[in-house]
Amino acid sequence: MDYIQVTFHRVAVYQMAAFPCALLYGYLCSSGHLPITLRYIYLLVGGVILACASMGLYAILIFIPALCFTAMFHIVSWESVHRWAFLLQMTWQTGCHLWLMYRQYYMEETMHVKLSIMISSLMLLTQKVTSLAMDLHERKMIFTINQCMKEKSFHAEWRYSILVILSYFMFFPALLGGPLCSFVEFQQKVTKAPLCPNFRHAWTLVRGFTLFMLLQVLRAVLLEKITYQCDLMDCRHLDCIYVMWSTVLIFKLTYYSHWLLDEALFHTAGFSIVLYSQAEVSDINIFTLETTNKISVFARTWNKSTAMWLRRLVYANCRTRPLLCTFAFSAWWHGLYPGQIFGFLCWALMLEADYRIHRNLDFISKPWYIRYLYKTCTWLQTQLIIAYVMAAIESRTLASVSALCFSYNSFFPIIYCISCIYLGKPKKG
């Protein structure tokens, strides 16, 4: 729990420090004082400065793959670029994760905050690299060159293309957090900035920062009122349910508040989230997450752009057990800690059971009060199972995972496991 608090606190400080740069960028673009090429340079330089400030010397572990993949996208053919990008980037990220675990457990070193920030940023870079590689492989885009560059030499066009890709990998509004933005959307937002001042940026900043502060205050109040233990090592019997629920509530408030801050910075700089070329959407929907009675809805809504990326990268390309493969890859992407492996595989099993339960029970004709009771019970079960999964994912040692498994909290996923065995297989949708 201390690791979560310290890491997110430091990230929030750096994100808030980047807001003036985002406001200045939006103002210069809208007023016409920043040509397109300088916009890419502004975003890239801002990202480099933010990386050095937040990660220190560890920033080199971000710069190396960003430079290498920028070169690779100009060398490897579009038919195989997605395979090379996936294998090389995941190999690099896995190596960094294993190095981190070696230092943390074998060398028994204290987790350095700058190193944890680097790992988080590297995971976001993996999203951008694989997303761009899939776009190239599927021929959904080609590298477009600014019109003013077309009259110059081939080398000038090549250098400009490198600048655009590097800027996409390192642009500061999405370096330390924020939703995934595709390369095409990134180019469109940079090249088609409004020609008049956009006052929505200021409103987005005020709204996002206000919600961030409100959630932080609520979290601080709960920390004062709720007695929690992250590892569940000392609780007994039914008290473990309260410990798990209260601990995960603090986790969720931490994630919600910082996602709101990340999204506010993202929008303040003039970017937005567009899924399936539809209208702009939010990457976080707290109301849906806290009120849904279906684990499947929670999984699709939790960090929505990442869920869509996982669906495109893994789920859509697996012919056998796509759901299991998707959550197994998510555990790999997050770092392969014991709790993450157990938690994500448990989430996949719970999601499969959730489909079957609601398919068999959701459409049965019932009186309104029975249906209301059904939704209430399934909402409570959903929230407790999600709390169980999140508590497992946030566990860093085998001892804490074992304590969770042998506590009374396991009663809730066991119910779903039994249901998964005895209920029929859901229809494929």
Closest of 13, 316, 341, 321 to residue 177, by C-alpha:
13
pLDDT of residue 200 exceeding 70: no
Give catalytic residue positions. Answer: 303, 334
Closest of 102, 121, 12, 104 to residue 64, by C-alpha:
121
Per mean pLDDT, which range of 134-138, 189-193, 271-275, 408-412 is the poorest?
Answer: 271-275
Q: What is the pLDDT of residue 156?
A: 62
Bridge partners of 281? Answer: 273
Q: What average pLDDT does range 354-364 have in this prediction?
A: 76
Q: What is the mean pLDDT of the chain?
A: 83
132 and 183 in contact (C-beta within 8 Å)? yes
Q: What is the pLDDT of residue 418?
A: 82
Closest of 390, 387, 388, 425 to residue 406, by C-alpha:
388
Q: Where on the phi/psi map is residue 212: left (φ > 0), alpha (ψ -120 to 50), or beta?
A: alpha
Output the CA–CA distances (angstroms, integers) from residue 58 to 51, 63, 108, 221, 307, in the order listed.
9, 9, 19, 35, 28
Tell me the two tokens of residue 255: 């994630």
239 and 382 in contact (C-beta within 8 Å)? no
Bridge partners of 280? Answer: 274
Q: What is the pLDDT of residue 201?
A: 60
**326-334: Cβ within 8 A, 24+ apart:** 327/351, 332/90, 332/94, 333/90, 333/93, 333/123, 333/126, 334/123, 334/393
Note the pLDDT tens digit of each residue in 257-272: 889 888 888 888 888 6
Per mean pLDDT, which range of 44-48, 111-115, 160-164 is the poorest?
Answer: 111-115
Instruction: Name the more confident of 49 and 357.
Output: 49
Burial category of 345 from C-beta neighbours within 10 Å (exposed 0-12, middle 13-18, buried 19 and up):
middle
H helices of 195-235, in order, are: 200-225
The secondary structure of residue 193, as a DSSP letter, is -
DSSP reduced 3-state for 34? coil
pLDDT of residue 150 exceeding 70: no
Count the alpha carbons within 13 Å of 343 in the hemisphere toward its beta carbon.
Answer: 26
pLDDT of residue 76 exceeding 60: yes
Note the pLDDT tens digit of each residue in 398-412: 888 888 888 888 888
Its pTM stands at: 0.88
Q: Distance between CA 300 and CA 349 in Å, rounded?
A: 15
The secondary structure of residue 284, as a DSSP letter, is -
pLDDT of residue 113 exceeding 90: no
Output the CA–CA distances (angstroms, integers) from residue 338 to 2, 107, 264, 299, in the order listed.
19, 18, 33, 21
Q: What is the pLDDT of residue 408?
A: 86
Q: What is the pLDDT of residue 205?
A: 73
Instruction: Name the more confident of 120 and 159.
Output: 120
Q: What is the pLDDT of residue 128?
A: 95
Q: What is the pLDDT of residue 46?
A: 95
H helices of 335-427, in order, are: 338-361, 368-393, 398-405, 411-422
Cβ count within 10 A of residue 247: 22
Q: Let me know how many helices (H) and strands (E) the chain has, helices first.
A: 17, 2
